Amino acid sequence: LAKTTQPISMDSYEGQEVNITCSHNNIATNDYITWYQQFPSQGPRFIIQGYKTKVTNEVASLFIPADRKSSTLSLPRVSLSDTAVYYCLVGDSWGSQGNLIFGKGTKLSVKP
């Protein structure tokens, strides 16, 4: 069972780049790494997903080292609206949801 570990909270200021690192030492060969964002009283929203190396989309980048035991979500130039909880998940592609577990996430607070 691939467990993830993230910092409980992080603070940043508007315009800064924020990097949130997630540890997943027991990641399996078939596991993908996915990040979700959640605002209070709303459902989580998909941000980005990767398997290895680097993935970039219009909102974030995901860096995954060769050993895949960790990953880093990078948010460029954050704004106040990026204040949310960010979850790192690992899960395989074999159809089982048994090991797709949301941890406590990282509460990001962006200040003016």
Partner 1 sequence: ETGVTQTPRHLVMGMTNKKSLKCEQHLGHNAMYWYKQSAKKPLELMFVYSLEERVENNSVPSRFSPECPNSSHLFLHLHTLQPEDSALYLCASSQATGGDNEQFFGPGTRLTVL
Residues lying near partner 1 in the complex (CB under 8 A): 31-32, 34, 36, 41-46, 49, 87, 89-105
User: Least distance in Å: CB of 112 to partner 1?
Assistant: 26
For partner 1, the closer CB: 73 or 87: 87
Q: Which residues, 6+ apart, have CB-to-CB distance to 67 below 8 Å?
A: none
For partner 1, the closer CB: 16 or 55: 55
Give the span between the Cα atoms of 83 and 57, in whole angstroms: 19
Query: Encoding tokens for residue 85?
Result: 């909880």
User: Least distance in Å: CB of 13 to partner 1?
Assistant: 26
Query: Encoding tokens for residue 92?
Result: 């395989």
Q: Which of 92, 106, 91, 98 is nearest to 37 (CA)?
A: 106
User: Least distance in Å: CB of 107 to partner 1?
Assistant: 10
For partner 1, the closer CB: 21 or 49: 49
Place of tokens 């993935």: 55
